[in-house]
Amino acid sequence: MMNWRDKNVLVTGAGGFIGSHLVEGLHRTGARVTAFVKYNSRGDWGMVDDIDPAIKNDITVLSGDITDGKTMRASLDGIDLVYHLAALNGIPYSYEAPESYIHTNIIGTHRVLEACMHAGVERLIQTSTSEVYGTAQYVPIDEKHPLCGQSPYSASKIAADKIAESYYHAFSLPVTIIRPFNVYGPRQSARAIIPTVISQALAGNVVKIGSRSPVRDLTYVDDTIRGFIKMGENDDALGKTINIGSGKGITIGDLSQKIVDLINPDASIISEECRIRPESSEVMALICDNRMADEVLSWKPEVDLSTGLSKTITWVRDNMTRFKTETYAV
């Protein structure tokens, strides 16, 4: 078993939802953590600013842009492991600005890979997404399922994964790819379905969603972070792509009703046209086959949906000022 206390770990995308939780999880292992956040002129650190102050005071925070090669090479000085999470990840916005997804998710990932080669890191954990599978051709979806870019976002992530895979085969860069299914929990923004429904149900009696029929596999963020950490410490994961998901599916309509029943049973749920993806771009079913995660990582989900939703509702209720429930967040 890896001794994390001997490791210097860098997390790109640390200012995001999953990234900020991963910083906390890695710190709990005893690792020396560097959080790489997107530079902005305000000087804020994204959701790193939300983590426990005792943890924040014990990590290193770097601001920069993953698409800048010089910045990435400098950030990896002395780093043993890299968790690469930085990405543009809003699907609706990828219809509006596809070039920005190509720039950040593809070119940015290449810059990270090159910097890892230059630094001689022990491992790079590339973060994928279940969206790369497109609508399920069979369920549950295992790692051999064909890839299908049904949105500019998913296409950019397929490219990023394949570039990372090529660096493993062509240059012996120690790469492993983690492929989370739909992650949810505290700190997630309204671009995702669960905080969107929760915040609207807390704010009023009308909840607006897109299509009711797509099926999603929902994994609580704490379970996902355990998967990330296991990917970093298990040598059997090298060169592999591993799904992390609950193995259970629920329609968006049933999920929305479940949330509304927990918060405001009098609220009505309506489908709004502007929230519905283009027909051939909608991913209709994502259900994870997590057998490889169990076999290789000894990972299984531990938090059931009702418990995870309860924890998430509590956080959203305490942070309602972050949510603009009157507008559609893309």
Per-residue pLDDT in tens (0 to 9) along the chain, 330 residues: 789 999 999 999 999 999 999 999 999 999 999 999 999 999 999 999 999 999 999 999 999 999 999 999 999 999 999 999 999 998 999 999 999 999 999 999 999 999 999 999 999 999 999 999 999 999 999 999 999 999 999 999 999 999 999 999 999 999 999 999 999 999 999 989 999 999 999 999 999 999 999 999 999 999 999 999 999 999 999 999 999 999 999 999 999 999 999 999 999 999 999 898 898 889 999 999 999 999 999 999 999 999 999 999 999 999 999 999 988 887
C-beta neighbour count of 40 within 10 angstroms: 11
Strands 182-184 and 218-220: parallel
Q: What angle do CA 94, 133, 229 make, to 5 degrees?
A: 90
What structural domains and CATH numbers belong to the chain? 4-184+219-244 (3.40.50.720)
Residue whose structure tokens are 């671009």: 191
| 8-state DSSP, 105 | I
pTM of the entire structure?
0.97
CB contact at 8 A, 23 and 35: yes
